[in-house]
Structure 1
């Protein structure tokens, strides 16, 4: 079996993922509060609000505190001359090899949360799929994008 890739993503990825998850989970909490208010106004049972609060609490723990750390530990990538090797997972490890000859274009993208931590993601597009290497330092993402682009162009010229 092949060795896992050696390159990791930026440690600030955990913070960025936690903030993104907190925003999403915040919507669950707003809905829970709304359900509690509706239960109070219309004199419904408070069990609905209690169950919603328990679900929101579990979602907060999982998506804000647990999953970002697990996701960071498993994300690895490596770029070879002939292929890009990506490994990621939370429970089931997914290992992907993207042949350079199949790469059509490479992009970097950066949302507001990633920008706060000077991070960017590299998106690798083939005819059939799109692969992403998330949360790299901006400089590393630009260098990786340029390197993959150069290697993919060289492979095209050789064919």
Structure 2
């Protein structure tokens, strides 16, 4: 499966995903510390500390460094006149074709982290489901939203 013709999402998306995962790792660390204090009152064993540190380091490697990068590398999209193609995945690569005639509405969304990096998620809604193209540069996301909306109206007029 070639991704050469597909447009890649913004590199800032990788940074946003890593920060988001880093924040979840922070909660894991706080939970681990709380668990250590609970265990300290009972039978405290230094091996528990090493196991906790090992789990945190493993979580950091996988969910903050490796998995976001693989996810970013696999993400791709292309907007054509008759359809939108989206490719995504971590271990299993999924490719979706959305016919323009099925598009009901298109939104852009920005949380605080996305706003800080000047990117937005593009949400494409059909009757059956919602598809999200993450981390597109804000001006590009707005232009893409208008383009998809226009193409969807034209496709519905042709039907």
Range class of TM-score, shorter chain: over 0.9
Which residues in structure 2 correspond to 1:2-151 (within 5 Å)? 5-151=5-151
CA distance in 1 between counterparts of 2:113 and 2:122 reads 15
Measure how far apart 1:108 and its partner are.
0.3
* Secondary structure in 1 matching 2:17: helix
Measure how far apart 1:50 and its partner are.
3.8
Asked whether the 8 Å contact 1:9–1:135 carries over to 2, the reply is yes
CA distance in 2 between counterparts of 1:5 and 1:108 reads 23
Q: Write the deviation string for residues 64-84 of structure 1: whole angstroms up to 9, x where unpaired.
A: 011111111111100011100
Measure how far apart 1:57 and its partner are.
2.0
Q: CA RMSD in A?
A: 1.7
CA distance in 2 between counterparts of 1:15 and 1:64 reads 9
CA distance in 1 between counterparts of 2:140 and 2:54 reads 41
- Alpha-carbon distance change, 3 to 119 in structure 1, aligned in 2, over 3 angstroms: closer
Measure how far apart 1:6 and its partner are.
2.1
Measure how far apart 1:32 and its partner are.
0.5
Size of the alignment, in residue pairs?
Answer: 159
- Alpha-carbon distance change, 30 to 85 in structure 1, aligned in 2, over 3 angstroms: same
Asked whether the 8 Å contact 2:32–2:52 carries over to 1, the reply is yes
Runs of at least 5 residues in structure 1 that lack an aligned partner in the other structure? none
